[in-house]
Amino acid sequence: MTAVLVAAGAFLMTLIGGWVAQRTGDRRHLVLGFAAGLMLGVVAFDLLPEALHQAPEEVHGVPQALLMFAAGFLAIHIVERAVAIHRGHEGEYAEHTHGQRPAQVDGHAHAHGRARAGGDGRQGIGLTAAFALVGHSVMDGFAIGAAFQAGTTVGTVVAIAVVAHDFADGFNTYTITRLYGNNRRRALTLLAADALAPVTGAAITLLFTIPEHLLGLYLGFFAGFLLYLATSDILPEAHSPHPSRTTLLCTLGGVGFMWLVIGLAG
C-alpha cells in the first residue's frame, strides 16, 4: 500500500504540472532542470546499481541489466519516433514565425496559425501523444510498486524521481494537447487521466510479487527509459527558452540532491 500512497503524490504532482502549464511563467526552465537532475541521479546512483545486483548474469560479455538498460532507452526512442511524440522544442516554447502571425496557445507563442491548428489531423497527433504520455505514466506507477518490492530505499528514490518527472508529464500532457488544436476541456480530461495513471500502475503491483531476477531486468529497463526522458525530453525543454547557467546549476543541484538522499537512505 505504501507504493499506492506514494503514487498519490505523483497524481498531485501531475495536476500541479498541468496547472503550471496553464499559468507558466519565466521560471519553468529552472523546475524542469532540477527535475532532470533528479532523474539522472536516480539512474546513476540507484537504479543501475540495484539492477546489476539483482540481474548480474551476462549475455555475450555484457550484464543482462545493462542490456535491458539499453533496451529501455531505445524502446522509448522508437515509440516517440513512431507516434511523433517528440516535438520540436523550438517551435513549442519559443516565439517563431513561418510567414504567419504567431498564435497563442495558453500563453505559448505558436506560429502555425489558428486555422491550421484546428485541423483534425493535428488534433489527432496531439491526442496520440497525450495518450502515449498517459500510458507511460501507468508504467511510472508500476515502477514505483516494483521498486518498493526491491526495497524501501530503492522505492523511495524511484518515487522521488517519478514524482518529479510527473510534474513535467502533467505540463507536457496539457501543453501538447492544446498545442495541436484540442480544446481546453479535452486537455483537462487527458490531464486527469495522466494524473490517475501512476496510481493505477502502482495498484497493479499489489496483485503479485515480481521474481528478483525479473525485477533486476525491469529496473535496468526503466533506468534506460528514465535516462531518455531526462536527456531527450526534459533537458531540451528546460534549455530551449533559457539556455542559462542557472538552469544548468539546477540540474547539478538535482543530481547532488539524489546523491544526498541515497547516501542518507543507505
**Tell me: the pLDDT tens digits for 6-34?**
778 888 888 887 887 777 556 777 777 88
User: What pLDDT does 264 receive?
Assistant: 65
Alpha carbon 60 to its chain centroid, in Å, reads 32
User: What pLDDT does 242 receive?
Assistant: 66
Range among 18-22, 64-68, 169-173 rated most confident: 64-68
User: What pLDDT does 25 receive?
Assistant: 58
The H or E element spanning position 108 is strand 108-110
Residue 47 near residue 219, CB atoms below 8 Å: yes
Number of H helices, E strands in the chain: 12, 4
Distances (CA, A) of 224 to 47, 97, 128, 144, 239: 10, 35, 23, 15, 22
> Regarding predicted confidence, which is higher, 80 or 191?
191
pTM > 0.75: no
Residue 24 near residue 241, CB atoms below 8 Å: no
Q: Which three cell numbers stand for residue 80?
A: 516517440
Residue 221 near residue 139, CB atoms below 8 Å: no
**Above 50 in pLDDT, residue 230?**
yes
Residue 85 near residue 91, CB atoms below 8 Å: no
User: What pLDDT does 70 receive?
Assistant: 97
The three-class DSSP label of residue 56 is coil
